[in-house]
Structure 1
Amino acid sequence: MNPGRETTPKRLGRGLSALFGEAAAPATPAASAPPAGEGGTAMAAAQTVPIAALEPSPFQPRAAIDRERLDELVASIAANGVLQPLLVRPHPTLPGRYQIIAGERRWRAAQAVPLHEVPVLVRDLDDRTAAAASLVENLQRADLNPMEEAEGYRRLAETEGLDHAEIGRLIGRSRSHVANTLRLLNLPLVVQTHLREGRLTAGHARALLAARDPGMLADRVIREGLSVRQTEALAQQRALADRPRRRVSADPADPNTEALARDLSETLGLRVTIRFDGRRGEVRIAYDDLDQLDGLVALLQRAGG
C-alpha cells in the first residue's frame, strides 16, 4: 500500500514570506520560471558565498533527502545554475560562516555539479524564526513526512517554550492541526516508521490513535489497503468493543424505558440514562475520556450519514 501524501493548503508562514524575498522582482527572465525542483520563489537581491562557508541548519526538520529528486536537481543546476538563492543566517559562533535555513538540497546539488559559489539571501534570524522558516519552507514543498512535521513542532515547543496556538500562528497553521500532529508522537515506533516511509498517511495515523493496539491495526490497514474513513470506523469499533459494559439507569416505573436504555448501553458500551416525566424526557450518555467521546461522535455521524 502506498496511499500517497496528503496535500496541504499553501497558506503557510504568513509573516515569514519576506524572509524568502518573495516581493522582489526576478533578476533574469529565466528566474521567473525555474526548472523542476528549484521552487517558484522569485530571485531577490542576493550575494554569492563559497559553498565551503555554508553548513546545514541545526533546525532542519527533514531527516533524509530523496536521492532521485536530488539527482534531478543536480542536472537542473548543471544546465541552468542556481536560480533561487538559499536563505541563510550568519553562524552564531563562527564568523564568516553561515547556516542554511532554506535550500540545503540546492547546496548539496551545487556541490555535486560541482560549483564553488552559490547565491544566498542573508537574514539575521534568531533561533525561533530560523526554526519556523525551515519548517515552513519544507511544508510548502511537501518535503516532510508527518513524523518530521511533528518533531519540528515539538522542537519549537521544547526549545522555545511555545504552546500549540503560538506555533500555529508562527507557521500559519491552526492550533488544532499542531495539536493533532504532535499526538502522532504518541504512536508506537512501528507505526511511526510506517508514516516515515509513506505506507500510512497522517489521516490513517490519527485514526489509529483511538485504537487499543495501533501497531496491529496498522498492519491490517496496510495489508488490506484501507482508506482513512475505513480505518476510522474500524478503530472506533475496536475501541467501543474494548470498553467495559456500563450500568444502565432508567425510570424503574417504566420497564420499556429501562429495556431501551439497556439496549443502548449494550450497543454503545457506555452508561445510558433515560428519564421521562410523562410529558418530556431526556437521554444521557456518559463518557470517561475523549477517546470514548470520539467513538460516540463517529458512530452518530455514520448513523446520520
Structure 2
Amino acid sequence: MKPSQFAKGFQARPDTTSSEKRTALDRLNAIDGLVANEPKAPAIAGRPIPAVVPSRLQDAEIPDPDNESAAYRAWRLEHGYRPGQVIELALKTIKPSPFNPRHFYVKSSIAELAVNLAKQGQQQAIHVIPDYDNPGTYFVSDGGRRVRALKEANKESVKSIVIDLPVGIQSYKLGYDLNVQRDSQTVFDNAVVWRRFLDERHFQSQKELAEHLGLDESTVAVALSIAKLPETVMQEMVARPDRFGSNMAYQVGRYHTARGADATLRLINRILSDDLSTRQVADIVKGRATAQESAKPAGRQRYAQRLEIKLGGVSVGDLKSYGDDRLELRLKGLTREKRDDILRQIEKMLK
C-alpha cells in the first residue's frame, strides 16, 4: 500500500491479510456489543464538555495492546483511555474522514434520526480516530449519520469509541464493509468516492481498485460510469435505493449521456410515478419507447422535481417544481394551528 494512501502523520502498519481485516471488523462489532451492556455514565452539567470524559465500562476482553500502533498508544496513555471504552466527545471536535465510504446523506433521513435521538438519546456509540496532527480533534470512522443528526438536534456531545486505525484506504475498507453489512452503502456513494480514489491516484486502475475491495471489475466499471452523472441527478435517486440500484442507475446514466440533465430528471420522475422496470428504461434508452415517452395527457405538465415533506417523521405532502417558474405545495393532515403557522410564514417570506 502506497504511503500516499494515508493522511499525513499516520504511519501505515504492515499489510494485513483478508482474515485479519475480517477480525478487525468482528472486533468493532464485538465492541458495539459491549457498549449495549455498559452502565450509563452520570450526566455532566453546569460546565463545558471537555475533549475527553472517560465513562465506566464493565470488565471485558479488549484488543491486545501489543498490536497497537505507536501513535495510538501514545494518545491512549496521555488521555488515560482504555481500548473499547465509551467516552463523551464534544461534537465540535468531530470531523468527517477524507476516506469516508459515504458521500450522500439524505436530509429527510437525517431529520428523522435527529427526532429519534432527541427523544430516545444516542443508543450506539460512534467510532472515531484521533487526528494526531491536530490534537483534540477526531475523524469519524463509523457513525457519520449519527453525528449529523446530533448536530441537527442541537446536541453538544457524542458517545464515542476511539479506535486504532490509520486514516486511509484501510479505514475506508473497514467503513465500507460495515456499511455493506447494514445494507446502507449505495452505488452512488461508491460512484463518487471510487472516482475520487482514481483521480487522486490512490489506485492506478479500476482493476487494482476492484482487487482491493474484493469485487468484480465489472461492478467497479458500472459505478464509475454512474459517477459521470451530475450530483443533482444522483441526489434524486439516492433517496429511493429500492428503485435505483446499480442496473437502473446505469441505464439512467446512459440516458443522461444522450439527453442531458433536464430530460433525465423527467425520466427519474416517470420511473417513480409509472413504476418502470429496468428493462422498460433500457427500451427508452435504446429509443424503442420514444413515442410512448413523449405521449402525455393534454394540458398536463410533468413536474421536474419533487420533495416529500414530513413532520415528526410522518409524510404530510410534497413540494413540486415545474419548468423554471412554478412551484406547487400540497399538504394535508395538519392541525389548524400548524396550517395557520405555515400560511403566516409563507406570506411573510413572499412580502
TM-score (norm 2): 0.49
Q: Which residue of 1 aligns with 2:144?
A: 104
The CA deviation at 1:126 is: 3.6
**Alpha-carbon spacing, 1:122–1:207, altered in 2? closer, same or farther (3 Å):** same
**Letter of the structure 2 residue corresponding to residue 219 of structure 1:** R
- Unpaired runs of 5+ residues, structure 2, are 1-17, 39-60, 63-83, 289-351
Aligned partners of 2:268 and 2:86: how far apart in 1? Answer: 50
Aligned partners of 1:164 and 1:231: how far apart in 2? Answer: 27
**Letter of the structure 1 residue corresponding to residue 249 of structure 2:** A
State the SS of the aligned residue for 1:87. strand
Q: Deviations over 1:49-74 (max 9, x none)?
A: 42233222223354453344334434
- Quick check: 2:124–2:159 contact (8 Å CA) kept in 1? no
- Quick check: 2:147–2:158 contact (8 Å CA) kept in 1? no
The CA deviation at 1:145 is: 4.7
Q: Which moved more, 1:15-24 or 1:156-165?
A: 15-24
Aligned partners of 1:185 and 1:209: how far apart in 2? Answer: 9
One of 248, 268, 278 as aligned partner of 1:204: 248
**Alpha-carbon spacing, 1:173–1:87, altered in 2? closer, same or farther (3 Å):** farther
- Quick check: 2:233–2:264 contact (8 Å CA) kept in 1? no
**Letter of the structure 2 residue corresponding to residue 206 of structure 1:** Y
Q: Which residue of 2 aligns with 1:123?
A: 164
Give the alignment's Cα RMSD to 1 decimal: 3.8
**Letter of the structure 2 residue corresponding to residue 129 of structure 1:** Q
One of 6, 20, 24 as aligned partner of 1:18: 24
State the SS of the aligned residue for 2:162. strand
Aligned partners of 2:36 and 2:230: how far apart in 1? Answer: 50
- Quick check: 2:35–2:125 contact (8 Å CA) kept in 1? no
Write the mapping of 1:206-285 to structure 2, written as runs, cut at 5 A: 206-210=250-254, 213-215=258-260, 216=263, 219-220=266-267, 222-223=269-270, 224-236=274-286
**Letter of the structure 2 residue corresponding to residue 46 of structure 1:** Q
Aligned partners of 2:127 and 2:35: how far apart in 1? Answer: 19
Q: Which residue of 1 aligns with 2:187?
A: 146
Q: Which residue of 2 aligns with 1:50?
A: 89
Q: Which moved more, 1:177-186 or 1:190-199?
A: 190-199
Q: Which residue of 2 aligns with 1:274?
A: none
**Letter of the structure 1 residue corresponding to residue 98 of structure 2:** P
Write the mapping of 1:5-84 to structure 2, written as runs, cut at 5 A: 15=21, 18-19=24-25, 21-24=28-31, 26-27=33-34, 45-51=84-90, 52-78=92-118, 81-84=121-124
Q: Which moved more, 1:125-134 or 1:215-224?
A: 215-224
Write the mapping of 1:116-195 to structure 2, written as runs, cut at 5 A: 116-143=157-184, 145-159=186-200, 160-187=202-229, 191-192=233-234, 194-195=236-237
**Letter of the structure 2 residue corresponding to residue 50 of structure 1:** L
- Unpaired runs of 5+ residues, structure 1, are 1-12, 32-42, 239-305
- Quick check: 1:85–1:119 contact (8 Å CA) kept in 2? yes
**Alpha-carbon spacing, 1:232–1:66, altered in 2? closer, same or farther (3 Å):** closer
Aligned partners of 2:233 and 2:156: how far apart in 1? Answer: 40
State the SS of the aligned residue for 1:22. helix
Aligned partners of 1:73 and 1:156: how far apart in 2? Answer: 30
State the SS of the aligned residue for 2:33. coil
Q: Which residue of 2 aligns with 1:287?
A: none
Aligned partners of 1:219 and 1:230: how far apart in 2? Answer: 15
Higher gyration radius (CA): 1
The CA deviation at 1:167 is: 2.6
- Quick check: 1:65–1:105 contact (8 Å CA) kept in 2? yes
Aligned partners of 1:90 and 1:125: how far apart in 2? Answer: 9
- Quick check: 1:74–1:109 contact (8 Å CA) kept in 2? yes
Report sequence identity in percent: 22
- Quick check: 1:208–1:217 contact (8 Å CA) kept in 2? yes
Q: Which residue of 2 aligns with 1:271?
A: none
The CA deviation at 1:219 is: 3.4
- Quick check: 1:110–1:118 contact (8 Å CA) kept in 2? no
Aligned partners of 2:199 and 2:233: how far apart in 1? Answer: 23
